[in-house]
Chains A and B, each alone.
Chain A
Amino acid sequence: MNLTRWYQLDTPLDPDAVQPRCQALQISLSHCADNTCSIELYDSFDWLLWQKNFLLLRLNDQVNLVQVPKTRLVYSEAVNWPKGDIGAADLPAGLGAEIASLIRPRVVFARLRVDWATSTFAVRDDEDKLIGHLLSHHFSCAGNQPDNSPLAPVYGVEPQPLKGYSTPIKRLRKALQPAKGHSGDSVKLVLAPWVERLFASGYRSKPQLQFTAATPVQQVLQRCISANLDCAQANIDGISRDRDPEFLHDYRVALRRTRALLSLLKEVYEPQFSLQVKRQLGELASRTNTLRDLDVWLLDSDSYRAMLPQELQPGFELLARALAKQRQASLRQVQKFLRDPETLQQLESIRRQFTNNDPSLHGRRAELSGTVVAAKAVRKHRGKIARLCAQASPDCADEHIHEIRIECKKLRYLTELFQPIANQDAWQALTGQLKALQDMLGRFNDLAVQQQFLSTTISALAGAKNLDPQASLAAGGLLSLLHQQHLAEKHRVLTALKDFHNQPNDAVVADLFPATATVP
């Protein structure tokens, strides 16, 4: 990967147009070669590599992993790179390891194709001595770009002086480049800015909204729900093609967030309408429950395998195979469901109801300002969680802790929605605390869910006489290990819950939305 420095121009280099400037410097340009190549940029559908400041590029048969903003080639290898989606397991070993150290191994695919054309000019002085070369670069986005594509072509020149001629070549470059023009390598000047723009304009698992404290809450919620439903729709193709478990995950989160916000921000929409939407979205999500459980199992299965002793490994493999088979079946069901025109129609009609924004569907509180509603909802909901935390004890049921987890998620959706009008320091503090708590609760819950999942699956398989005794043995071993971890985790969870409810609720809310502190 050639990462030399070049200088950006506003327009493509036109040798005829620059002739007078060259003459003044007693320099002549003569065209000698044209080259083209194309670069493919790979990332996950939600730009995980980019978010970690990495670009995965393919140039011919060379893959390169480049770190930005200070362009650094981290890894480069000539590989026989397959076309299309590339699963983590299909990445060449070295690259796979590099990527696994950055993001969770997953599917990457071509997100951007760039055509890179270079014309080379020989630069000669007044004695007709070759003193260097001038490369003229032209980058354009390949494929059919919509008219409003954010990716306008980029032009530049790269001076390549021969030894001893850097001064006249530098003079030439200065004569060609506008004052204060940018300079840098292709990653800095083209690829990174383009990806940044695609990332900013494209898919987001968490829609970012801009609004003010005075914006009516209905507008805020309407935009948020529309964006979430867009997001759910955007993931359907990926789920159907089984590209990556993250598609399903994001789909479910988008639906869950929508439902949670409709519940928490009561009467922003007409109650009957809210209820109906929540029910429909609940149905669209629940049809994927089994597949998600199996995905979670698969994502964790390597760590489970590592937990088991050697004797149980063969049984574990049988179990894993049985579950993989089950996942295939479950995937087919989900695919059938999501490809059903009726399903798509249903999601689309819900989405349209929100984008059309029919005032008759607005609730009693639609016109209230965002801050007033937000402060109230956060106070109420955080209070509820604090009460639940206070009731948690070593002998409370797992369901109780599970409920806290669900409520924490909802509170998180709520605070995330109102971040633009919250005090940022207080927001960061609360979010940090919530995140830590959620991580812990998530682990605790995963352990519970996996135990539950394993025992029901095993019973079902055993009932259908589909299970090898060795696999049952491995499952049993795994169950008891999970159970032990579960108990240990519970202790830690309880301590964390105590910390949470010890903080006075009113103070937290007042910090978060200072403007509303005086409003009774």
Chain B
Amino acid sequence: MGKTAAAVNFALTAAEDGNRVLLIDLDPQGASSFYFRVKPSSKLKAKLFLSEQEKLRQNIRASDYANLDILPANLSYRNFDVMFKQMSRSKHQLRKVLKSLKSDYDLLLLDCPPSISLLSENVFNAADLVLVPVIPTTLSERTLGQLWRFFKDNDYDTRKICPFLSMVNYRTRMHKDVSERLHKDYKRVLQGYIPLSAEIEKMGAQRAPIFAYARNHIAAKCYQMMWSELRNRIEAL
């Protein structure tokens, strides 16, 4: 769907924009860590005296870019997991933990795994905005609908949801239709969109954000423009 691609590129754009950014890789697959070549740190020396928060902090790694740090996958996930269990399945634990990072960073970006789990609910509580990439397909549209429902049913603030169009190919009729419908149904859909692009796909081979190798490509510009839009939303919070 493009969550990780977006997280990685937004993180770098925001950092280049002067924000101190921490990208937290919550996906056990570790895709965003992979793009920044940060190893999902092998053996974590268990320092018992450290608090969970301290352990997280110790695992933060600088990226190759100024202002941008990464909390790599696996590790963070494992720790979060342990933490949630300890906290008797609290849905607010993540928010508490992240609060401790508030003074070090201007922006925390969470790259989430798929599926709505206990972790996701922690994310919904912790996040100020929930960015949802939507591929203009009926299936993807339905997933957004489910998420919306879930927010309504569980009393989360639906204004947090920020859908945006991802992997858009305007040459197909369906993409065009879904996009139009989406903008009609949800008024908080971001105006910009991320095109379906071979340049974005190359991130896997390059192991780097798109800005590292195709800064001037239209796809890179799309991430930058969308970041400006997001920045306005964040400032309006």
| Cβ proximity bits A98-142 to B, threshold 8 Å, 1 near / 0 not | 000000000000000000000000000101111000000000000
Nearest residue (CB) in A for B39 is A127
B64 and A164 contacting across the interface, CB-CB below 8 Å: no
**Separation of A162 and B70 alpha carbons in the complex (Å):** 12
Nearest residue (CB) in A for B65 is A130
- From B36, B58, B61, give the contact of A165 (CB < 8 A): B61
- From A125, A127, A128, A162, give the contact of B62 (CB < 8 A): A162
Give chain A residues whose Cβ lies under 8 Å from the Cβ of B64. 129-130
Give chain B residues whose Cβ lies under 8 Å from the Cβ of A129. 36-39, 64
Give chain B residues whose Cβ lies under 8 Å from the Cβ of A163. 60-62, 69
Interface membership of B59, Cβ < 8 A:
yes
**Separation of A125 and B61 alpha carbons in the complex (Å):** 13
Which residue of A125, A128, A129, A130 has the most chain B CB atoms within 10 A of its CB atom?
A129
| Cβ proximity bits B48-83 to A, threshold 8 Å, 1 near / 0 not | 000000000011111010000100000000000000
**Separation of A473 and B206 alpha carbons in the complex (Å):** 90
| Cβ proximity bits A135-168 to B, threshold 8 Å, 1 near / 0 not | 0000000000000000000000000001111000
Tally B residues with Cβ within 8 Å of A: 12
| Cβ proximity bits B182-197 to A, threshold 8 Å, 1 near / 0 not | 0000000000000000
A164 and B37 contacting across the interface, CB-CB below 8 Å: no
Nearest residue (CB) in B for A129 is B37
| B1-47 CB contacts (< 8 Å) to partner A | 36-39
Give chain B residues whose Cβ lies under 8 Å from the Cβ of A128. 37, 207
Tally A residues with Cβ within 8 Å of B: 9
Taking the nearest CB of chain B, how far is it from the CB of A30, in angstroms? 13
A164 and B59 contacting across the interface, CB-CB below 8 Å: yes
**Separation of A130 and B61 alpha carbons in the complex (Å):** 11
**Separation of A243 and B76 alpha carbons in the complex (Å):** 67
A164 and B60 contacting across the interface, CB-CB below 8 Å: yes
Give chain B residues whose Cβ lies under 8 Å from the Cβ of A130. 64
Give chain A residues whose Cβ lies under 8 Å from the Cβ of B62. 162-165
A127 and B59 contacting across the interface, CB-CB below 8 Å: no
**Separation of A30 and B44 alpha carbons in the complex (Å):** 29
Give chain B residues whose Cβ lies under 8 Å from the Cβ of A127. 37, 39, 207
Nearest residue (CB) in B for A126 is B39
| A350-371 CB contacts (< 8 Å) to partner B | none
- From B58, B61, B207, give the contact of A162 (CB < 8 A): B61
**Separation of A162 and B207 alpha carbons in the complex (Å):** 19
Taking the nearest CB of chain A, how far is it from the CB of B207, in angstroms? 8
Taking the nearest CB of chain A, how far is it from the CB of B68, in angstroms? 10
Taking the nearest CB of chain A, how far is it from the CB of B212, in angstroms? 11
Which residue of B58, B59, B61, B69 has the most chain A CB atoms within 10 A of its CB atom?
B61
A164 and B61 contacting across the interface, CB-CB below 8 Å: yes
| A461-491 CB contacts (< 8 Å) to partner B | none
**Separation of A165 and B70 alpha carbons in the complex (Å):** 12
Give chain B residues whose Cβ lies under 8 Å from the Cβ of A164. 58-62, 69
**Separation of A162 and B68 alpha carbons in the complex (Å):** 11
**Separation of A174 and B3 alpha carbons in the complex (Å):** 41
Which residue of A127, A128, A130, A164 has the most chain B CB atoms within 10 A of its CB atom?
A164
| Cβ proximity bits B216-227 to A, threshold 8 Å, 1 near / 0 not | 000000000000
Q: List 13 A-B contacts (CB under 8 A).
A: A125-B37, A125-B39, A127-B37, A127-B39, A128-B37, A128-B207, A129-B39, A163-B60, A163-B62, A164-B60, A164-B61, A165-B61, A165-B62
Q: Which 8 residue pairs across A and B have the least CB separation, nearest first? A: A164-B61, A162-B62, A129-B37, A163-B62, A130-B64, A127-B37, A164-B60, A163-B69
**Contacts A127-B39, A130-B64 supplied; 11 other A-B pairs, CB < 8 Å:** A125-B37, A128-B37, A129-B36, A129-B37, A162-B61, A162-B62, A163-B60, A163-B69, A164-B59, A164-B62, A164-B69
